[in-house]
Copies of this chain bind each other. A is one copy, B any other.
């Protein structure tokens, strides 16, 4: 029995307190003194987290599958043995991470399963919760490894061979925690990923639900500027080749580029290393990184061209040698227009302030979107802060996002009262 599109099932409700408790229980595994979580991918703590959440999902009637990269799929059967509707995210954290990044998406999925059980709903399609391996990339590169391999962006063997700083491979780490699986990964009929925004927009605008239209494309660069070390005292201004002066101009030009272009342009210099970095020596070398982002590929390319011209002009004026190297390219991702619209409508129907926005960061959904219609649901986080032990989110916002998720899943899976 298909739920007609636009009908909002009222038979199932998530329980805010239960969702909050599951978040806090998982956050106890790898908890830090400052209230955050340190639970790196494929560590013993990650195993404990997987066992805990997998156990909850199994207890909620799901069948567990683990694929060769440790991606865990918990499948709640539907009336038909068809491709499930997926919900997912990750439970690995940054070294100084928070309680909500990733964990919220997985545990909102668990809460949806529990709410369906509470209401004795049997959906037409199965509903699955996915825990993707190594999203953060803090221990192993590439980031978003599990979902990327799932979507065919990375070869399985390449991922299994990647090693952490201690020389341990992904394959060895998977085996050591018992998550080197052999199951086939399911294809999804649709995929939803709830997540804290990790940015300040929703909070600043007092909006509860973000309907995420897509993720910004990213081009990352390394820039090296070479001038000439010299004494700060004896060297007149006109005779200097100061790499830091060139770098300082480029830092400001990166902001100018980000402000000048449309489509959610971003530009950031996050890392800058001065050499010799001595108080009374004119810096002869600066290495810095540049991160450009835009929702449209053509605009991102125009920003890149602008950057190249700007770097060359400044290097000439400052008499520096400049080497600009592109090191990463992520294409912009456009989520499924139908489901972006439905999330917006569902949130509005539930009475939540809602807006469309772009994800500035990458998420597992960006890769999964290559395989099926996908969308994300953002909720505010305090101060826009994430990847930090003080990361925080309000229970009512987390609950609102989970209810929107539940209704979208019901719609995609064909909800029906038992």
Contact = CB atoms under 8 A, between A and B. Distances in A.
A245 B255 contact: yes
Interface of A: 197-201, 204, 216, 218, 220, 228-237, 239, 242, 244-245, 247-249, 251-252, 255, 258-259, 264-274, 277-283, 289, 291, 293, 359-362, 383-388
Given A220-B280, A279-B291, 9 more contacts: A199-B231, A199-B233, A200-B235, A229-B388, A233-B266, A237-B267, A239-B384, A245-B255, A280-B291
Contact of A248 (B232, B251, B289): B251
- How many chain copies? 2
Contacts of A259: 237
Given A237-B258, A245-B255, A360 B266 contact: no
Contacts of A270: 232, 274, 277-283
Contacts of A387: 231, 281
Contact of A266 (B232, B252, B281, B291): B232
A375 B2 CA distance: 97
B268 A232 contact: yes
Contact of A277 (B231, B273, B384): B273
Contacts of A199: 230-231, 233-236
Given A258-B237, A361-B231, A388-B229, A271 B278 contact: yes
27 contacts: A197-B234, A199-B230, A200-B230, A200-B236, A201-B234, A220-B279, A231-B384, A233-B359, A233-B360, A234-B359, A234-B361, A234-B386, A237-B258, A237-B265, A237-B266, A242-B268, A245-B252, A245-B255, A247-B251, A270-B278, A272-B272, A272-B277, A272-B283, A273-B274, A279-B291, A280-B361, A281-B387
A361 B232 CA distance: 8
Contact of A271 (B218, B249, B279, B385): B279
Contacts of A271: 274, 277-279
